[in-house]
Amino acid sequence: MSLSKSLTLTVYGMSCNGCASRLQTALNAIEGVHAEVSFASNRVDLTIEKSVDYENTIKSIKTLIAEKGYTSTLPIAETASDQSQSAEKSSHSNKNSAESPANTQELLIEGATCASCVSKIEKTLNALPDVQQAQMNLALRTVSVTGHAATKTLIQAIESAGYHAKSTGNASDQDLLEEKNQAEQTYYHKLMVQMWIGLALGGGLMAYGLLGGAMTVNSPTERIVWFIIGLFCAGVMYFAGKHFYIGAWNSFVNHNANMDTLIALGTGTAWLYSMVVVIYPLALPEIARHVYFEATAMIIGLINLGLALEVKARGRTSEAIQRLIGLQAKTARVIRDGQDIDIAIEEVLLNDLVRVRPGERIPVDGIVNEGKTTIDESMLTGEPMPVKKSSGDEVVAGTINKSGSIIFQAQRIGKDTALAQIIKMVKRAQNSKPPIGRLADIISGYFVPVIMIISITSALIWLNFGPDNSIAFAVVSATTVLIIACPCALGLATPMSVMVGVGKAAEAGVLIRNGEALQNASKITAMILDKTGTITLGQPKVTDIYPVNAMDENQILQLVASLEIGSEHPLAEAIVESAKERGLSTDKVEHFNAIAGQGVEGQLGDKRLLFGNQKLMREQHIDLDQKSLEISAEMANEAKTPMFFAMNGELAAIIAVADPIKDDSISAIKRLQNNGIRVIMLTGDNQETAKAVARKVGITEFFAEVLPEEKSQKVAQLQAQGEIVGMTGDGINDAPALALANVGFAIGTGTDVAIESADITLMRGSLNGLADAISVSKATLRNIKQNLFGAFIYNTAGVPLAAGVLFPLTGLLLNPVIAGAAMAFSSVTVVSNANRLRFFKPQEH
Amino acid sequence: MLFINLAGIFLIALIIWWFWLYAPKSQRQVSADKDNAVIDIVVQDGVYQPATITVSAHKTAILNFIRKDATPCAEMVIFPDLNISEELPLNKAFAITLPMLEKGQYLFHCQMQMYKGYLIVE
């Protein structure tokens, strides 16, 4: 204990920067103490010099904080000597991982405020034996550490230096979620208590009025009684409604107005008027000496109830993201030094060997090293069938190992896993707003001041043209207008539905990039489907070899495979694969050249080889006899792709390659067509093959023989016809077309979410995902429209009603308490309507 | 009655001036003119403190939002022009890194626009 100590306290109760500044001055006055107080983060960073008695100084600090009226947490303190201990521990705990390759991890630091903190943290971390380099970014409050050290060791070391640290990985999502739920629960209880305070007084007074009690001030006794009730009401306003008044005032001084402004003005007007009636009854005509304390208390109670219900309902809107976060395993079983050890998920390092038994969740992304199993990926991709996995296959975090035990090598950890990326993407999309919400935003910007103006105008009209006790009518109408108006319903209409809709889509394996994509997807009139890999499996196979000259099938296949081995085209892969299956070896081809949209050419010894479509043969002046043409047409009619092989300027063979159609492509295409969408197939195949495939899957329109660079032209062509075009492809060679389309859909391979060019990513290969995406977006947009319509109608009908437009006809004026109830439940209604989307089942639409 | 009517009209004019016409020149604002400057913004009691932030054009800056208000409204902060929309944890700092921006005024607000602030790039 001979070195100086740094420690951090969390202090509660400071309400302004002034409090923080005064506390800092007082703390610095204690001998041997250097303090920095932050109001923003409720923190006190302390350094206690070695020359003073540590325990006594701590006591003095805590006493001073308590004397100032604040509460503080226990200090989180470590000394430099503790650092060495933890360094020792870290060295011990990490020796097992020393042989694995170095990795970089990021930690979030709390409590670092200056350059010296940065230097201290970096020095502490760099002193650890398993750390190669530690670098801190003060602006981002993050430290990036390269080496073998486990996260826990790093956190211990940082905390021993007097700071807080946590992993920025996926585990923090769970912590964040738990904290959020906890905070919401606390807030809900607080609101419920405030509701009961409001309703207890308001309800009692209302019952008294309904049972025939006079709510007027006509005698000195009544004045005293009502004065006392008025004070109770002020108590209600303070204890149950303080947040409205503080919020309203803060907004006002910032030239802003919000819901708090309306509630504060409405309840304040009713209370003030009632107090005037009680204190100076003579200032008002006898008929107008009515008190409205019950309205003030009831409104505060009801609006707190509305807020509490809204908190509950809002919690349900984020169920989908909560479910995704819940997929993350908390621990992993890694093999270190030949032994299985269970560690926290954030301690898993890159290249760690991880063992997963049947029934367990995959903790991080990786490649299977040992074992065979089936894995349920439905929670991420929506694909119900378990997927077989064996050595060399990829496994992703969050999925469930069903049958066998496997060992895999960790490839992506923390925030880099596919699951973490999906969570990030869904969260971002949930928070974005589609263009349809812009009008509501513009209106929200002007809403509250406009309501205030309407309220004043309404009061003036009553005062000028109202009956005898017009002042009471003016107060009631002004109050009711302020209370009934609900900017929240307007503001919530769009985001709540987007939140649920995007979450719902994610559950079906559909990742929507943002609100705009969601809205556009609901309006699609034409959908272009790239044939290969979208309608078909994208794994073509050789089905027929038709020799034209004297060579046999194997000779032909060997030559063509030798030529195609250098090509990356899916058809080339089919040829090479087929040659491998027959045990044929390939030779080295020279002068290889790929001719885009046509085929390939090359030289093998004295043979000039050409392999490609009919167009290539035409361009290269290869004669195709009538029989060859007939055979190729027949192959095309069977939805196979005929490819021509020419050697030394003469046709040698025709090879048919077919790409099997996915099982559910036909039903998914039908679903799209039933939704009124014009479905068009796009392919590089010739007319006949394209026609045959299109016929098989029930498509009448297609673009055939389209070169890769022409895909975007086809999108533009349809857009020029006035169509809102969706383009579906694999996201690799379709990028320009996906980007140009109104909505680009990328069919992902399992959990590959990094398809930047797409607006919507379908995590499973099925085209049903496409139909699901469109169904969900349509349902979400319908829900947004219902919400917006409801919110607009509520306000446009409610405000004039509150102002008393019906009074000349019916003699009725809306009671402010009813307005309060309506206002409280309007936003709950919007959130609840959005929640209806949770029950939406895309398969049925 | 004339006095009351005039008072009412005056109030309406005051509302229009205070909420719409007033230019936020003398408001408390925080400026940052260096790369990666960090500005703390407290989200509490219906307002962002400070509500007006000035940063230099073509320089990155970090806004550190500290949400102290448990109301659901304060949960989100949205910069509509910058396509930024983030959920703010309660009682914790949340950093938003601003890209390099062109000169101008950018609004940021909560989902329901109860909280409002201005990012001025100059």
Q: Which residues in chain B are contacts of A258 at CB distance < 8 A?
A: 46, 112-115
Instruction: Check if the beta carbon of residue A595 is closer than 8 Å to that of residue A611.
Output: no
Mutation target vs A (from B6, B85, B108, B109; most A CBs, 10 A cutoff):
B85
So what's the pLDDT on residue B28?
54
CB A180 to CB B90 under 8 A?
Answer: yes
CB A444 to CB B112 under 8 A?
Answer: yes
Q: Which residue of A has its CA nearest to B3?
A: A460
The interface residues of chain A toward chain B in range 481-500, judged by CB-CB distance below 8 A, are: 487-488, 490-492, 495
- Our CA-based measurement puts residue B85 at a distance from the nearest CA of chain A, in whole angstroms, of 6
* Encoded tokens for A323: 């479910």
Q: What are the backbone dihedrals phi and psi of residue A352, each rounded to the nearest 5 degrees, phi first?
A: -60, 145
Give the nearest partner residue to B87 out of A137, A427, A460, using CB atoms: A427
Question: What distances in angstroms separate CA A251 from CA A5, A242, A256, A300, A827, one per listed residue?
Answer: 42, 14, 5, 19, 21
Long-range contacts (CB closer than 8 Å, 24 or more residues apart) made by A569-573: A569/A594, A570/A532, A570/A533, A570/A538, A570/A539, A570/A540, A570/A659, A571/A540, A571/A641, A571/A643, A571/A657, A572/A600, A573/A540
CB A491 to CB B20 under 8 A?
Answer: no
CB B91 to CB A42 under 8 A?
Answer: yes
- Our CA-based measurement puts residue A400 at a distance from the nearest CA of chain B, in whole angstroms, of 29
What is the residue-averaged pLDDT of chain B? 83
Establish whether this prediction's ipTM goes over 0.85. Answer: no
- Over residues A452-468, the pLDDT tens digits come to 999 999 999 999 998 87
Instruction: Check if the beta carbon of residue B63 is closer than 8 Å to that of residue B87.
Output: no
End-to-end Cα, chain A, rounded Å: 71
Instruction: Check if the beta carbon of residue A485 is closer than 8 Å to that of residue A447.
Output: yes
A95 vs B: CB within 8 A = no
Distance CA(A134)–CA(A109), nearest Å, equals 13
* Strand pairing report for B29-32 and B52-55: parallel
CB B97 to CB A140 under 8 A?
Answer: yes
CB A254 to CB B51 under 8 A?
Answer: yes
| Beta strand spans in A697-827 (E) | 701-703, 725-729, 743-747, 760-762
Query: Active-site residue A352, yes or no?
Result: no
Instruction: Check if the beta carbon of residue A582 is closer than 8 Å to that of residue A697.
Output: no
Buried b vs exposed e over A136-162: b needs ≥16 C-beta within 10 Å?
bebbbbbbbbebbbbbbbbbbbbbbbb
Count the helices and strands in chain A (H runs, E runs): 27, 31
Q: Which residues in chain A are contacts of B12 at CB distance < 8 A?
A: 453, 456-457
Instruction: Check if the beta carbon of residue A419 is closer than 8 Å to that of residue A169.
Output: no
Instruction: Check if the beta carbon of residue A616 is closer than 8 Å to that of residue A707.
Output: no
Model-level pTM? 0.73
Q: Which residues contact A48 (CB under 8 A, 6 or more apart)?
A: A4, A5, A6, A7, A32, A33, A54, A57, A58
Question: What distances in angstroms separate CA A840 from CA A61, A434, A819, one per listed residue?
Answer: 58, 20, 33
- Our CA-based measurement puts residue B106 at a distance from the nearest CA of chain A, in whole angstroms, of 14
Distance CA(A826)–CA(A833), nearest Å, equals 11
A250 vs B: CB within 8 A = yes
CB A487 to CB B113 under 8 A?
Answer: yes
- Our CA-based measurement puts residue A714 at a distance from the nearest CA of chain B, in whole angstroms, of 30
Give the nearest partner residue to A258 out of B83, B86, B114, using CB atoms: B114
The interface residues of chain A toward chain B in range 5-64, judged by CB-CB distance below 8 A, are: 39-42
CB B18 to CB A255 under 8 A?
Answer: yes
Using CB atoms within 10 A of its CB, is residue A129 exposed (0-12), middle (13-18) or buried (19+)?
middle
- Over residues B75-109, the pLDDT tens digits come to 889 888 887 888 888 887 788 888 888 888 899 99
Question: What distances in angstroms separate CA A825 from CA A302, A492, A554, A828, one per listed residue?
Answer: 9, 13, 77, 5
Note the helical H segments in A95-150.
115-126
Using CB atoms within 10 A of its CB, is residue A642 exposed (0-12), middle (13-18) or buried (19+)?
buried
CB B4 to CB A460 under 8 A?
Answer: yes
Distance CA(B41)–CA(A500), nearest Å, equals 29
Mutation target vs B (from A431, A452, A496, A828; most B CBs, 10 A cutoff):
A431
Using CB atoms within 10 A of its CB, is residue B99 exposed (0-12), middle (13-18) or buried (19+)?
exposed
Ranges of chain A whose pLDDT falls below 50:
1-2, 74-100, 170-171, 750-751, 753-754
- Determine which one of A530, A685, A759, A772 is catalytic: A530
Report the SS3 class of residue A234: helix
Instruction: Check if the beta carbon of residue A502 is closer than 8 Å to that of residue A518.
Output: yes
Give the nearest partner residue to B112 out of A452, A453, A487, using CB atoms: A487
Q: Which residue of B has its CA nearest to A140?
A: B95
Closest listed residue to residue A745, CA positions, set A723, A722, A769, A724: A769
So what's the pLDDT on residue A129?
80
Distance CA(A726)–CA(A719), nearest Å, equals 10
Question: What distances in angstroms separate CA B19 from CA A253, A255, A258, A355, one per listed residue?
Answer: 10, 5, 11, 62
Instruction: Check if the beta carbon of residue A771 is closer than 8 Å to that of residue A672.
Output: yes
Q: What are the backbone dihedrals phi and psi of residue A624, each rounded to the nearest 5 degrees, phi first?
A: -115, 115
Residue A580: how many CB atoms within 10 A of its CB?
12
Closest listed residue to residue A773, CA positions, set A753, A749, A745, A752: A745
A247 vs B: CB within 8 A = yes
Instruction: Check if the beta carbon of residue B119 is closer than 8 Å to that of residue B37.
Output: no
Radius of gyration, CA atoms only, chain A = 36
Q: Which residues in chain B are contacts of A42 at CB distance < 8 A?
A: 91
